[in-house]
Chains A and B, each alone.
Chain A
Amino acid sequence: MLHRILWAALVAGLVAGLATAVLQHFTTTPLILEAELYENGEAPGIAQSGLAPSDSGGAAFGGARLILADASEDHGDEGGIWAPADGLERTLSTSVVTIGTAFGFALILLSVMVLADARISARSGLMWGIAGFAAAGLAPALGLSPELPGSAAAVLEDRQIWWIATAIATAAGLWLALRISKPWAIAGGIVLMILPHVVGAPHPEGFVSEVPAELSGHFAAASLVVMAVVWSLAGTVAGYVWQRGEAKQAATAAA
């Protein structure tokens, strides 16, 4: 059992992770690199704008201090902390982390499907993967839209707590509405899914990014597509590998 879950999730992590890493390389990563040029003041035209990026690390808006995402950061060696060098090393590092993330998503999906006693196939895996995307991609994006380096953002821990709580509440809401599916469960599920947005995500009190709005808009859309792809592929491939294993087991038992 342990072996089957790990194997199916590992294959799904590799396939979905590699495909997503390629997609990232051509969609989100170029936008991140371009945003970093603005963040570091290297983008064309920024010198004439009169806004020196060096003094935008924290700005006062009505007495509230804004924390500029990425402000203190520079990619490369800083203070002796390892960072991948731009180019191949950074691409490899990103790809490895994406494969690990896809492996994690596949493990979560398969484990929950086993716990739910659900029928596991490529098709049902896709359905669960889409639910995972709704819980960990769509729902948090409504409060905290996918953002580029250099965007204004509230305190990191607050955003992480809201993100995790929203993903859990949405997943639990979907479970109640789609798995239990009794009238009270559907009503409770809908309430659970709405609740995080009524509470509201932590937001900065102003906008300070020097990254063009078009770039941020493209990035938010691309990021949602990347998340949809990684979740649905992880679920589909994990379900497919699991189903094949079942067929093999049945054949062995019959022989």
Chain B
Amino acid sequence: MQTATQTSSFSQSRRMIAAATLAFGLGLIFLSGFANSAAVHNAAHDTRHAMAFPCH
């Protein structure tokens, strides 16, 4: 019983961490591909075109 509880709390914390790193990854892609800041756009310009993120 205790093992089962431990396993489930382990897999829950595993899920929480994976959800957090997923959000971090999506945030990075938002910054490099979509952020509407002119300076970020200029720095990322060639990559945005190469990765076919909608640009301009």
Contact = CB atoms under 8 A, between A and B. Distances in A.
Interface of A: 1-2, 5-6, 9, 24, 28-29, 32, 67, 69-70, 73, 75, 81-84, 90, 93-94, 96-98, 100-101, 103-108, 110-112, 114-115, 137, 140-141, 144-149, 153, 156, 159-160, 163-164, 219, 222-224, 226-227, 230
B18 A111 contact: yes
Interface of B: 13-15, 17-22, 24-29, 31-34, 38-39, 42-47, 49-56
Q: In terms of DSSP, what is the predominant structure of the interface of chain A?
A: helix
A74 to B, nearest CB: 10
A112 B22 contact: yes
B22 A227 contact: no
Contacts of A230: 51
A75 B51 contact: no
Given A84-B43, A97-B44, A111 B49 contact: no
B49 A104 contact: no
Contacts of A108: 22, 25-26, 29
B29 A105 contact: yes
